[in-house]
Each structure stands twice: as C-alpha cells, then as structure tokens.
C-alpha cells in the first residue's frame, strides 16, 4: 500500500542528512566541515481513519494535517 494521503495527495519527499564535524566559528573554532551526506526520506504522518463518504463509512489513509483542518468527517 502506498504512503499517499487520499485527500490531499501528500507523499514521501527526499532529502539529505548532513554530518558536520568541528567547532563553529562563533564558538572560537575554524568552522564546521561536512564529512558525510546520505539520502533520506521524509514520510507523511498518515493515519488510518474511518470517514463518512457518499452516505457510508469507509476506511482511508489520511494525513494528520487534513484531519486537523477538518477536511474529513468522522462517523
């Protein structure tokens, strides 16, 4: 099952995690040096909830942002 919100279409995004070593310049060092960069994924906060739809109740995967915004009605 895909990690996509069924209301707004929010899906995983990709980014990087950056590892830095050294002491910052403002703390008296010579600055931070990047020693490693690896790819990572940012997953949406999906919840399986029961939703009213077309006069019935169905189960959907909805992100927390849509639930807070009131885009879905719970039974």
**Three-state secondary structure readout of the chain:** CCCCCCCCCCCCEEEEEEEEECCCHHHCCCCCEEEEEEEEEECCCEEEEEEEECCEEEEEEEEHHHHHHCCCCCC
Q: In the chain, what are the domain boundaries?
A: 13-69
Report pTM: 0.74
Q: Is the per-residue pLDDT at 2 higher than 90?
A: no
Whole-number percent of the chain with pLDDT over 70: 99
pLDDT value of residue 4: 97
> Measured between alpha carbons, how far is 51 from 21 in angstroms, rounded to an integer?
48
Q: Is the per-residue pLDDT at 32 higher than 70?
A: yes
Q: Which residue has the tokens 């906060």?
A: 45
Q: Is the per-residue pLDDT at 69 higher than 90?
A: yes
31's tokens: 């600055």
């Amino acid at each position: 099952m895909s990690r996509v919100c069924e209301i707004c279409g929010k899906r995983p995004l990709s980014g990087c995690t950056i590892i830095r070593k050294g002491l910052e310049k403002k703390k008296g060092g010579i600055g931070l040096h990047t020693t490693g960069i690896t790819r990572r994924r940012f997953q949406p906060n999906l919840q399986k909830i029961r939703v009213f739809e077309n006069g019935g109740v169905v189960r959907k995967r909805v992100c927390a942002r849509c639930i807070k915004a009131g885009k879905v009605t719970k039974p």
